[in-house]
Structure 1
Amino acid sequence: MSQQPSIYLYGRRPVLEALRRREGVQKVYLLYGIRDEQEFRARARSVGVPCTVVDRERFTELARAAGVAVRETQGVLALLSPVPVRSLAEVLEAIPAGEEGLLVALDGIEDPQNLGAIARSAEAAGAHGLLLPRCHSAPLTPATLKAAAGALLHLPVAHVPNLGAALRRLQEQGWWIIGTAPDGEHLCWEPFADCSLVLVIGSEHRGMRPSIRALCDRVVRIPLFGKIASLNASAAAAVLLFEIRRQRQQSLSTVQVCCDVSA
């Protein structure tokens, strides 16, 4: 497991979530005079995290170090420990025994806010990890953490040197690779294979690379009924993740009904 440099998290909700999780927060800074100051101080104190109230000049310096404007922070900054980055093997080992895996692989997502939003949807849908190529991928920045709303404190992240090689390795272990594209051959609500899945989300502008698309066991599309031609990458990821979750929950319900009837 490797680590990224320490970075700042900003915004009321993401910082409160980080404190609730009790992981990774080294210190909290509050802009003097903000509302909910006492709540933040009490929450930080309850988990043993130092909390400092500073004037606007000092807070502006901290915001500049975090790479954000003061108005975006809502008057709240948290210095985080480095985000742990795992190997693919470590992510796979953490999947509970007997549970079908669900991973999200990003092929060329370059917008930090899209990365954060996809991480948020992946964690909410119960995915077991996020696969990022070491090159041509958005970095884990304060904007990423803000968009993720705390999801990256829960969702394992793996950097893979070669995404294609990682997907081939997973296929050899019985995983299905599901690609996404506006011209996909299958509709997103067609039944997925009853096995571990990797959902591949392509670049915001170019989609999946041809070499990655060629590896997919299925390429799906989301039918659109308006006049726009496609969804934002993070919106598409959310739709597909929860469709996978819906199908899995439906399958579990069917098994339970069958067991009840046979009993």
Structure 2
Amino acid sequence: MASGVKFNRLYGRNSCIGRLKENPKSIKRLLIEKGIEAGDIEQLSKSENIPVCYIPEREFNRISGDIRAQGIIAEVEHFRYSILEDVLDKPLENLPVILFLDNLNDPQNLGGILRSVACFGGHAVVLPKYDSVEVTDAVLRVAQGGENYVPVSRVNNLSWAIEIAKRAGYWIAGAVIEAGEDLTAVSLNFPLGLVIGSEAKGIRQGLLKHLDLKLTIPMQKTKLSFNVSTATAIFCYELYRRRKNT
């Protein structure tokens, strides 16, 4: 997002409809390319009194650039981060699985994680403010509306955030490529926090001391590995399945 821009942009039908249904008050206006069939979006925006601007194709393409927008863009308020203490202020049985993302720098990965965990429900994400990606237009494009369902917090210090979660009753696990407990076989306690390291460096040494256990995805070809977004989706599906069956 360029400096001074006072909004995020959502591109495409799915992202815009998701925001219209879940958080319409965050939408400043909709931009629709002239000639595009968008009756459902027009109806939703009218019911929420959201301004709609119809733009000629050439001007719309100038705004969207090389992004595939399907003729629809929503200008929305900057993403609002959740306060971690508010996320933790729930009865123990209702607390979400929290993903502590350590030094994740690729917006594609963060967007993919938000999209995946939104499908499972019951997850929250914590990001450090420094040396980490934040929620940008690029993240929102990949998330495809997942950001509407997943609280995301930013904290000055990830170690502090993990300690706060532990005091709230969380067990803390770390996702590692090898030498961890088999994710599919180990006994798990909830509420659970999962630390995910960067693809390049894994979990930083300073965070390893907070872990109650390490978890590994069992694989046949042990010299290969998943990218961080895919691995996180696998971890979170298994956590979702376990929690659902408890």
Structure-1-length-normalised TM-score = 0.84
The reply on whether 1:33 has 2:28 as its aligned counterpart is no
Corresponding position of 2:60 = 59
How is 1:181-196 mapped onto 2 (pairs within 5 angstroms)? Answer: 181-196=176-191
Paired residue type of 2:138? A
- Corresponding residue for 1:204? 199
In structure 1, the gaps of 5 or more residues are 64-68, 252-263
2:73 matched residue in structure 1? 77
Q: Residue 8 of structure 1 aligns to a residue in which SS?
A: strand
Question: Does residue 162 of structure 2 align to residue 161 of structure 1?
Answer: no
Q: Distance in 2 between matches of 1:150 and 1:244?
A: 22
Partner in structure 2 of residue 89 of structure 1:
85
* Secondary structure class of the residue paired with 1:85: coil
Tell me how far apart the structure 2 counterparts of residues 218 and 250 of structure 1 sit (CA, whole Å). 21
**Deviation readout 1:201-229 (Å, 9 max, x if unpaired):** 11122211121123211111112224761
Query: 1:140-155 to 2 correspondence within 5 Å?
Result: 140-155=135-150
* Structure 2 unaligned spans of 5+: none
Say yes or no: does 1:224 pair with 2:225.
Answer: no
Determine helix, strand or coil for the equivalent of 2:68: helix
Query: Distance between the aligned counterparts of 2:15 and 2:187, measured in 1?
Result: 33
Measured in 1, the distance between the counterparts of 2:8 and 2:124 equals 21
The Cα shift of 1:154 comes to 2.2
- Contact persistence 2:108–2:142 (CA under 8 A): yes
Contact 1:91 1:157 in 2 (8 A): no
* Number of corresponding residues: 241
RMSD value, Cα: 2.0
Q: State the percentage of identical aligned residues.
A: 28
> 2-side partners of 1:27 and 1:117: how far apart?
26
Instruction: Show structure 1 runs of 4+ deviating over 4 A.
Output: none
Matched, 1:244 2:202: no
Q: Which residue of 2 aligns with 1:255?
A: none
Structure 1 match to 2:116:
121
Give secondary structure in 2 for the equivalent of 1:234: helix
Residue 59 of structure 2 aligns to a residue whose secondary structure is: helix
**Residues 238-247 or 191-200, more deviating:** 191-200
Query: Residue in 2 aligned with 1:102?
Result: 97
Deviations, residues 56-104 of structure 1 (Å, cap 9, x unaligned): 33223432xxxxx3442222110011221122112212x4564243111
Q: State the AA in 2 paired with 1:14.
A: S
CA separation of 1:184 and 1:100: change in aligned 2, threshold 3 A: farther
Question: 1:169: how far off?
Answer: 2.4
Q: Tell me the residue number matched to 1:47.
A: 48
Q: Is the 8 A contact 1:31 1:55 kept in 2?
A: yes
Residues 49/97 of structure 1: CA separation in 2 closer, same or farther (3 Å cut)? farther
User: How far apart are 1:114 and its partner, in Å?
Assistant: 0.8
Q: Secondary structure at the match of 2:161?
A: helix
